């Protein structure tokens, strides 16, 4: 026990500063997506993005970013980051258009997002609102909504506290039909597994859960003390549960819905943060202080302690197998395995940090600068000399037609125009997107209602996990300016993104 306390209470000290390996930089260049580090001034100002490990070279910047309270989600297709500012207002950062926009002026609570494009919140009247770049949607549940939890499959779970009970309703926007419902003892905090197949809630006696596909109840798990924090693994096979006043984490096996183990700690904890790859957990001591415990998921043991303050953004598991910590005015990256210092960024504590993967900052393809050529079926060029026969200096004339034309076949010697092939569209370009919905009929109706220069958008189905999404789009266009012009001419809300065909 003494050895464990000594290990957990001692901050790992490493000599020198270990730089990111050349292999890490090389592998970054060959990955499908780059590891992006976004820094937003905590007092507001110019946000800057960097491609790890090149933290000295700004890849992107946008001005007039407000002070950030939290980041909700990121939409890699649209290049949108959903966040909440210091006044509790939802906003989006558009990485493609280099803009920061407010999503709603209304007062909303329980703000949440899974996709980044869709932001959900609860109004003062107890209704649920969905905010998207193409328009908003409002749902009035049977009872006043307390919170809303969007799910990866596009549905939402709405909760309403009613006395000693909490009522749940499952809805799939933009339909208002209630698909499923459930009633639970009054719940506290909630957590969703990364796969989105289960929701867990804290109650006075432990944990209760539901299947998100139909809100059917799963077996509850009882504890001796109230639950303080929960961290599910990315696969959802285990839950790490911190109990109030206990110096251990209880490990819950989701397949048996029972406690399967424990992690001994130097003391009680108040918050947990899971590694996106499910390899480690950061635990905040309940006593506070400027340190956090690092727990190995593979062996369920404390592997060490890192010196750091605990904020909404940091400490966090960063790119390149690192942990980003904040000490005083600086941000320090340490290796997630040996906890040795890799990089110190002086003054980094003045920023709000967010890590994500994306390929939108890569160099622009030269093919995108090729203009779009629109062919015409009414104009056909025919080489008349090549069509002359040896016995005639001039081609025969087609048959004359009177006021009542008859079906007369032209002579075989009369040259017919060669069929024209439509011009090839560029391999890559900019696409104008007007909406993304979950039903084909809804997408078809939206496309029919939009007209730009006599043309309608098309419906492009795409798979997102296990969910089919139908996007209403036009393009691709050779330039971003042309795509923006099409979007403005439509008179609708739209966004532009770069796409490979």
Range of the domain at 475: 366-374+423-500
CB–CB of 51/39 below 8 Å?
Answer: no
- Is 27 a member of any domain? no
Average pLDDT along the chain: 83
Residue spans of beta strands (DSSP E) within 125-236: 128-132, 135-139, 147-150, 156-162, 165-171, 178-185, 190-192, 198-203, 206-211, 217-222, 227-232
**What pLDDT score does 228 carry?**
95
Residue 53, preceding peptide bond in cis (omega within 30° of 0): yes
404 or 339, greater pLDDT? 339
In the sheet that holds 99-102, the strands lie side by side as: 68-75, 80-85, 90-94, 99-102
- Is 34 a member of any domain? no
Task: Find the CATH number of the domain harbouring 494.
Answer: 3.30.70
**Least confident span in 20-29, 37-46, 155-164, 466-475:** 20-29
**What pLDDT score does 497 carry?**
74
- Is 436 a member of any domain? yes
CA distances from 76 to 180, 401, 477 (A): 30, 60, 20
| Chain centroid, CA 202 distance in Å | 26
Map tokens 């532009």 to a residue: 496
Is pLDDT at 408 greater than 80 in this prediction? no
- Is 348 a member of any domain? no
Query: For residue 453, what pLDDT band results from cuts at 50, 70 and 90?
Result: confident
Number of domains within the chain: 1
Model confidence over 373-392: pLDDT tens digits? 655 555 444 444 444 444 44
- Is 438 a member of any domain? yes
- 409-426 mean pLDDT: 49
The pTM (predicted TM-score) of the whole model is 0.70
Residue spans of beta strands (DSSP E) within 113-154: 119-122, 128-132, 135-139, 147-150
Is pLDDT at 2 greater than 60 in this prediction? no
- Is 478 a member of any domain? yes
CB–CB of 304/294 below 8 Å?
Answer: yes
- Is 470 a member of any domain? yes
Q: Give CA–CA dist 207/232, Å, rounded.
A: 13
Q: Give CA–CA dist 122/370, Å, rounded.
A: 47
Model confidence over 260-276: pLDDT tens digits? 999 999 999 999 999 98
**What pLDDT score does 365 carry?**
61
Cα angle, residue 385 at apex, residues 383 and 387 outer, rounded to 5°: 75
Q: Give CA–CA dist 468/50, Å, rounded.
A: 32
- Is 24 a member of any domain? no
Residue spans of beta strands (DSSP E) within 265-388: 269-274, 280-285, 291-296, 301-307, 316-318, 322-327, 330-335, 341-345, 351-358
Model confidence over 115-143: pLDDT tens digits? 999 999 999 999 999 999 999 999 999 99
Residue 135, preceding peptide bond in cis (omega within 30° of 0): no
Cα angle, residue 207 at apex, residues 206 and 211 outer, rounded to 5°: 165
Q: Which two tokens stand for residue 217?
A: 């109840």
- 300-312 mean pLDDT: 96
């Amino acid at each position: 026990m003494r050895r464990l306390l000594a290990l957990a209470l001692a901050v790992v000290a490493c000599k020198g500063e270990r730089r990111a390996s050349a292999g890490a930089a090389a592998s970054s260049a060959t990955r499908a997506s780059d590891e992006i580090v976004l820094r937003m001034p905590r007092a507001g100002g110019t946000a800057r993005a960097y491609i790890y490990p090149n933290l000295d070279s700004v890849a992107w910047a946008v001005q007039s970013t407000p002070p950030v309270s939290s980041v909700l989600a990121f939409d890699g297709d649209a290049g949108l980051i959903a966040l909440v500012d210091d006044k509790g207002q939802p906003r989006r950062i558009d990485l493609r258009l280099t803009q920061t926009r407010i999503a709603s002026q209304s007062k909303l609570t329980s703000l949440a997002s899974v996709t980044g494009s869709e932001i959900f919140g609860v109004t003062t009247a107890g209704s649920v609102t969905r905010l998207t770049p193409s328009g908003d949607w409002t749902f009035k549940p049977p009872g006043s909504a307390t919170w809303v939890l969007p799910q990866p499959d596009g549905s939402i779970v709405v909760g309403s506290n009613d006395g000693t009970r909490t009522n749940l309703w499952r809805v799939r926007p933009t339909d208002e039909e209630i698909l499923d419902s459930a009633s639970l003892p009054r719940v506290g905090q909630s957590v969703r597994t990364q796969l989105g197949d289960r929701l867990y809630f804290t109650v006075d006696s432990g944990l209760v859960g539901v299947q998100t596909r139909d809100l059917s109840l799963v077996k509850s798990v009882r504890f001796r003390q109230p639950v303080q924090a929960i961290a599910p693994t990315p696969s959802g096979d285990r839950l790490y549960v911190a109990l109030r006043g206990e110096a251990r984490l209880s490990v819950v096996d989701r397949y048996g819905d029972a406690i399967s183990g424990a992690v001994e700690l130097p003391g009680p904890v108040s918050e947990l943060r899971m590694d996106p790859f499910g390899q480690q957990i950061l635990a905040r001591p309940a006593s506070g202080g400027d340190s956090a415990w690092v727990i190995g998921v593979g062996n369920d043991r404390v592997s060490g302690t890192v010196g750091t303050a605990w904020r909404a953004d940091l400490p966090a598991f960063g790119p390149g197998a690192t942990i980003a910590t904040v000490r005083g005015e600086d941000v320090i990256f340490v290796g997630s395995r040996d906890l040795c210092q890799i990089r110190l960024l002086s003054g980094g504590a003045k920023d709000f940090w967010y890590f994500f993967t994306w390929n939108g900052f890569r160099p622009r393809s030269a093919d995108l600068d090729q203009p779009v050529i629109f062919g015409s079926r009414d104009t056909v060029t025919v080489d008349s000399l090549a069509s002359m026969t040896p016995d005639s200096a001039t081609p025969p004339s087609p048959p004359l037609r009177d006021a009542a034309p008859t079906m007369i076949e032209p002579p075989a010697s009369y040259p017919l125009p060669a069929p024209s092939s439509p011009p090839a569209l560029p391999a890559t370009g900019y696409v104008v997107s007007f909406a993304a919905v979950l039903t084909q009929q809804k997408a078809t109706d939206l496309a029919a209602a939009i007209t730009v220069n006599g043309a309608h958008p098309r419906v492009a189905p795409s798979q997102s996990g296990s969910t089919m999404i139908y996007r209403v789009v036009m393009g691709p266009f050779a330039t971003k300016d042309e795509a923006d012009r099409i979007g403005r001419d439509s008179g609708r809300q739209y966004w532009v993104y770069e796409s490979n065909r």
